[in-house]
């Protein structure tokens, strides 16, 4: 098995280039490559990943299918939730998102 590890590969990419990156990573998956992707871009993670892990301060605060993780709203009523994962206890910062994809 081959493993591709990427740490925020979308940095400094415009939206079109980010979409092309997602297409390339999906192609790698189809070719049997496992992809481990660290990103703050929820749309990229959702497009590419089969499994997502949300981290904050090195701790796992959510894991599961990307749609499930991104739909979770820990921030409280009236605060944004889609694409922003926040920790279960009150905190002012957004959690970075790490996504993992294995074929």
- Catalytic residues, by residue number, are 8
Distances (CA, A) of 91 to 16, 31, 66, 76: 33, 40, 22, 11
For residues 64 and 53, the answer to whether their CB atoms sit within 8 Å is no
Residue partners of 63: CB distance under 8 A and separation at least 6: 51, 52, 53, 54, 69
């Amino acid at each position: 098995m081959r493993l591709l590890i990427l740490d925020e590969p979308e940095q400094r990419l415009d939206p079109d280039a980010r979409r092309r990156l997602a297409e390339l990573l999906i192609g790698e998956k189809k070719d049997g490559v496992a992809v481990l992707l660290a990103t703050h871009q929820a749309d990229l993670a959702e497009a590419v990943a089969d499994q997502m892990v949300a981290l904050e301060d090195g701790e796992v605060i959510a894991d599961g299918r990307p749609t499930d993780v991104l739909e979770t709203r820990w921030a409280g009523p009236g605060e944004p939730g889609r694409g922003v994962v926040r920790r279960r206890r009150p905190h002012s910062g957004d959690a970075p998102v790490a996504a993992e994809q294995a074929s």
